[in-house]
Amino acid sequence: MCTVSKASMEKMSSSMTSSMTGMGLGGITGLTTALSTLSCVREPQITIGGMPSNYVPGLSASYNISSFCHRPGQTRRCPMQRAGPSAQHRPGRSHSTGALHRMKHSSRNSPNTQYTHNLICKLADQNERRRRHDTMEMIPPNYYSQQPLKVELTEFYSRDNSKDHHTEQYELVNDNVLPNPVLRRGQNFFFAVRFDRTYDKQQDVTRIVFCYGPKPSVTKGTRVVLSVNWNTQQTIFQHSRDMMGLGMARMQDISTTTAPVGTMGTVGTISTISAMSPICGIRETTTYGVRRSSFSNETMSLQHSPLSPPGPIERPVIERYSATTQHSSYGRSFGSGHESHHGSMNNLASICHEMDKWDISVQRQDGNTITFQVHVPATAPVGVWNCWVQTSRVGQRDNRHDYKCDEDIYILFNPWCREDTVYMDNDAFRNEYVLNEQGKIWCGTWRQPIGRKWIYGQFDDVVLPACMYLLERSGLEHSERGNPVRVCRAISSMINANADDDGLMVGRYDGEYKDGVSPHAWTGSVAILERYLTDGGRPVEYGQCWVFSGLVVTICRALGIPCRSVTNYVSAHDTSRTFTVDKYFDRDGNEVPNGPDEDCYDSCWNFHVWNDVWMQRLDLPQGYSGWQIIDATPQEEAEAVYHCGPASVEAVRRGEVGFQYDTPFMYGQLNSELCLFQEEENSDWGFIRMSSNQYQVGRKILTKNPSRDDDEGDSDLLEITPEYKTVDSSCPERLTVIASCRGYQRLQQYYEFPDRNLEDVHFDLMDIDIVPYGQPFDCTMNIQNKSQEDRTIICVLTASACYYTGAIASKLRRAQGEFIVRAGQREVLKLHVTPQEYMDKLVDHSIVKIHAMAYVKQTRQAWSDEDDFPLHKPRMQVQVRSQPSVGQECSVTLSFQNPLTVHLTDCYFTVEGPGVQRPRQIRFRDVKPGEFVNYQDKFIPRRSGERRIVATFSSREMDEIFGCTVANVRG
């Protein structure tokens, strides 16, 4: 406890008396100083008229007062903390802590010690009450009329702002209880504040503070303080970014007409109302959920926005501008040839600088309600922001009120804004790669691609919260979340779950999914993200590369990053960094697992699915922007973390493997060489290289065609192989890149073929046409002896069930023999496989691998080739029986025929449709052999327009039966 001498008390009393004369600001300051001196324990406080705004009489903020100090009916007082985004904690031990410390180590720690401590607390509490009461009587009553404004209500006009930010489809915006604003950076938005009295422009001070992350920082760009300046009531945002290329003169003459929606280069909202005319406020036309006020505990009922002015009010006239100049496919050009003679490059640079800042202006004052317009710069970090309204009086900065708005403000990337690094200047591409809620992911084999419908559902109310949680788990600094390069790299690491993190989904490839959900049972991303959130961030089981790719599309499009799914057929996984995929076979044609030294883990996947994201690469030289590769499938560690990309597609195509990120790895997946070695006793090292007709890496690269949708077939595929690699795989540039990266010239001899002049027997593995599931098939190898002598040939022909990763699951059938082929003659080796031989051995995707191998004894010619094909399963028919309408029950029929001669057990359907049906799993009875299944389900549409419904059927004996249909829902 502190003690104050009598002399000191008299001196302070004198100081207080002299300072209080006239009760001016100086008097209040003196009073505050005196009170602080008298206080036994000082702590950070907000003061109003020299009095702490969070004051609770007594020392409960400093002492642990026991219950005997409380009066009947009172509750224990808890320490009051300073509210607001600028609150700080000053470490230090209170007097009570010191007292307890002394008691703990006192040699006289009797049972009365605690009583003594509580007694001194109570006595000090009573003394401070008396002193505080005496001081309060000295403050004139009219001083309290100078209190700062109090916020009663805020309104972010979520629905109206969303129309100009292209976010009106997000379900969070349309929530009926508490709509959350979903905004895109690089644009303006409106919001209103209702105070408890009329704003005094001369004395009231208002600051709007936006905070992001657990430790908001002004210098890091995660805390923004905007002071309201009434001198700029007419908005300072007179000029859109797109106006810069149209001339400065037109900015003074903005017409009040509206350009057609969907014009290219649309950015933000622009006020066109003169400074002297009344400014219209935005008015919502639907219901709002009104939050609690800052001083009331009562919740207001749902009603029209209380911040909308009474009477019929129109929205502000908003003009959209689109640049008429031609832009490159990706760049930050403002146009050329249209600059106004009124402006200069210095003025343009000044405007650009101003537009890259947060800013605020007053749009309208209507009684106690003020409508603001805020500009979010195109470089702002993406994520969930919070808004605080700070009010104070002139000259009394510490005398303030802080009000935290209830809404979570989602700020996203903006592909409609030229200044955003994810800007995409093609409106059709934006509709596909940002706004399209469904798509197709390609599986199968390179000769027989199979497109699978996938519901991305990026506007579902669970998606954005899940995205934000994943970004938090990634460890990416909040200040770096405005950089799409860093954000996409973080996404690629958090989709897959490894031992060192809690990513979104666990990958599994062995076909054992009993303790989770089969990857083939998912119809889209929403169910996965919702399960992840409801399970407290526990990774979801199970997924594979194409599921990971669908999740990446969902998350990137939800955040505003243009994204597409890409499938690479015959994708190399080079673990030794030699740009080769090495496979070894013994003399009988059996593959040697992991090579002769058991240290080769190379593999060649039948297909591998990754993603392309669209952005400008400011960290790379010019010419490498546009599509960038990211891969969320865990294959190789980079920087001790399983993540991959973004790697520039153009850099991969050119072989510029020195550019970030993971460009050599992606180049290897597309350009590595498949090297097959067979055991040979006359070889110096025990193996010889075998030639192959056509099996090579990166055979075909597909994505969905943005201009087509095929719900019944696969005509909507788009081959983009030339964007990734040169057509000629033996071009000098490719060989030069591989040689420079490999760096093992001394090993080159082992990768060279024997003398091709000695190869006089031609081998050819015939392609297999489409084979329906449950039907037999034949594997055929043609042999032609082109020499003038007989040749003794050893042949092996094998059919195996394999995973899509290229790993063999089980052998189906094998034919092997040694025979003589006469000079100039042909022979045919055929292998017949029946359904009984493969039915219970097939695994995921029902892929069969055919491997052929031959060896000519006389010339030591070695040849090998392989081919893969999927067994085609029946397609499900999805039919909507009546005209669906919003809010009315409608039925859908799912039908298919069992092609097998066995019962299907453990059956279930999965149905999903954005705006029509949330993901739903339906258990179904056993299906008889050959039975035609016809199941009817009901749904209630929530949104109007063209809606797709996707359904799958899974069972223990057969899965991957899926179908899709389009439902035109009336509003």
* Residues with a known catalytic role: 545, 608, 631
Residue pair 315/225 in contact by the 8 Å Cβ criterion: no
Beta strands in 470-536 (DSSP E): 505-507
Going by the DSSP 8-state scheme, the letter that residue 805 receives in this structure is T
List the one residue out of 466, 347, 746 whose CA is nearest residue 578.
746
Cα 886 to Cα 431: distance, rounded to the nearest angstrom: 24
Element (H, E) at 841: none
Tell me whether strands 945-954 and 826-833 are parallel, antiparallel or unpaired: unpaired
DSSP state of 282: P
- Amino acid letter for position 798: T
- End-to-end, the C-alpha distance of the chain in Å comes to 72
Q: Pairing mode, if any, of strands 51-52 and 47-48?
A: antiparallel
Between the alpha carbon of residue 881 and those of residues 166, 616, 918, 936, the distances in Å are 33, 47, 19, 10
407: its two tokens? 């809404």
Please give the Cα distance from 593 to 807 (Å, whole number). 10
User: CA-to-CA distance for 396 and 229, rounded, in angstroms?
Assistant: 17
3-state secondary structure at position 249:
helix
**CA distances (Å), 848 to each of 57, 604, 714, in order?**
81, 14, 21
CA distances from 435 to 409, 562, 880, 967 (A): 20, 9, 24, 18
Contacts 24+ apart (CB under 8 A), 919-926: 919/455, 919/523, 919/524, 919/526, 919/527, 919/530, 921/521, 924/953
**How far is residue 596's CA from residue 581's CA, in Å, rounded to a whole number?**
14
Q: Are 146 and 121 in contact (CB under 8 A)?
A: no
Tokens 């309060």 sit at which residue? 136
**What are 543's two structure tokens?**
């997924």
Distance CA 119, CA 112 (A): 10
159-197 as b/e, with b when 16 or more CB fall inside 10 Å?
bbbbebbbbbbbbbbbeeeebbbbbbbbbbbbbbbbbbe
d(CA 643, CA 637): 7
At a CB cut-off of 8 Å and minimum separation 6, what does 505 contact? 495, 496, 497, 528, 532, 539, 540, 541, 542, 543, 547, 548, 551
Name residue, tokens 């922001």: 385
Taking the C-alpha atoms of residue 261 and residue 63, their distance in angstroms, rounded to an integer, is: 64
